[in-house]
Structure 1
Amino acid sequence: MEEHDKRFWRNMTFAQLRNRRVRVSAYGGDMILEFRLTPGIGHTLGARQYTVNGFDIGELFHEGHDGFMELTRQKAPVSIKLLPDEPEYKIIEDITGVQPGDVFVQTNGNKYPVQEITDDGHCLVLIDSNTYRIDDAAFDHALRPAPARIPDRPGLWEDKSGGLYTVWKNGQELWIIQIRESDGRWVNGPALLIGKTGENVNDSTTKDLSSKAPFRFHDGEL
C-alpha cells in the first residue's frame, strides 16, 4: 500500500475530515479521482458510491483507536492528497478597496466588521455593538466574503453537505431540483428557476440555495 507522504489523516479526526475533498491516484497515476469524503458505516469515510468511474474505492478511512483516522486497505495501491475547500473570503490588501460588509483585520490580528466608509475614505467598524473610526495605520488587510457558488450550467451538482441536484436548461432558462439528500436518501424536491443563461441568478433561488453553498460540479457516477 502506497500512502501519501504527509499522511494528513493521522492528524485529523472523523469530524475534521468529513466532507473534505480528496484526490486519489491509483494504478501509478493512470486513474485519478476527486471526490468529497462521505460517512459510511460507523466512523468511516470514503466515496459515496462504491464504484467511481469504474474504480472500486468504497471505504477510504476508518477511525483509529487513538481517535484519529487510519487508512483502510485498498485493493490497489493508492496515493491520497487533501484538497483545499472553496475559499470563503477574498483578501483585500489595499485599504482604499475596503467596502461595508468586509472584515477589517488589524496588524495585531484583531478583526472587526466594516459598517461604513466615511466621505474622506476612513473605515468605521463595529466593536462591542458600537461604531468606531479605526486608524488606517492599524490596517493589515480585509476579508470579503466570497459569493456563494451557485450551479451555472446543466449537469449534476453537490452542495456543501453532499446533497445532490440536477440542473437542466429549458430554452434559455436554467432550472435546478434536488434528487438526493446528504444522507443518501433519494428525493424529488421542488424545481427552482436559477435564471436565464448569462444573466444574474434569480433572487429567490439565491436565498433558497445560499445556505447550501458552495456547490461543486459532480463529475462522478451515481
Structure 2
Amino acid sequence: MSILSLQGVVAGYGSAPILNGLDLALDEGDIGVIVGPNGAGKSTTLKAVFGLLAVSDGCILLRGEDIANRPTESHAGRGLAFVPQEHNVFRTLSVQENLDMGAYVRRGERAALLDRVFEIFPPLKAKRAQPAGELSGGQRQMVAVGRALMSDPSVLLLDEPTAGLSPLYMSELFDRVVAVNRTGVTVALVEQNARQALGIATRGFVLAGGRMRFTGTGAELLADPDVARSFLGG
C-alpha cells in the first residue's frame, strides 16, 4: 500500500481549481520528485497535502487514512512535515532554537533527533548558537529541513528547496535529501531544477495543467524524449 496517495484531487484558490483531478502515489522509502512548468500545480499539490489549501474533491491518503482538509496542526502527529519555499526559518532565533521548535511533538526524543540532524547537516552543529538570519541561504535551508526532521516525520514535503541557491549549495542540498531518505524518511520534493532533481528520484511526476502528464522512475523520465522536449529544455 502507498504511504501517500492523491486520488482525483481538485484544489486551488477560491473558485479556480489549480489541481484538476490529480492522481499521485508514493511508496514508503521513495524520493518522489514533482516537476513541470510554472502554474502546473506543483506547490499546490504539497499545500493541499499539508492542509494549507482546501480540497474540493478527491482524497489524500496517508497510510490509508484520508487527511484531506484535516487541520494543518494535526499533521505533525501523523508523521507528516512540510518545508515551504520561503519564510521557513526564524531568523532572529539561533540554529539550536530553530531546531528545538521542530521537536514540540517529540520532546522525549529530542536528543536523539538532534544528533541525527547534526549527522545529516554537520555545518549546523558548529553554528548552533548563531542566529539563523546570519547564515547563508544554503545553510538556512539546512536549518529549515533540520527543524522539520526534529518532528521525526515519516513523510517530508519539500517545496523548491534549492530556490535561489548557488550551484554548489544546490548539489549539496540534493545530497542531503538523499541522506535524509536513507534514514527511512519518504520524501516528496517539488523542484524547478528538474534534471538534477530527477537524478535522485525513485519516482518522478510531471504535472501540467493540474494533471499528471508523465510518471516513472527518475531515470525513465530523463530518458523520455517527450519529457525532455516539453519539460526539460531539449
Q: What TM-score comes out, normalization by structure 2 length?
A: 0.23
Select the structure that is richer in strand. Answer: 1
Q: What TM-score comes out, normalization by structure 1 length?
A: 0.24
Select the structure that is richer in helix. Answer: 2
- In terms of Rg, which structure is larger? 1
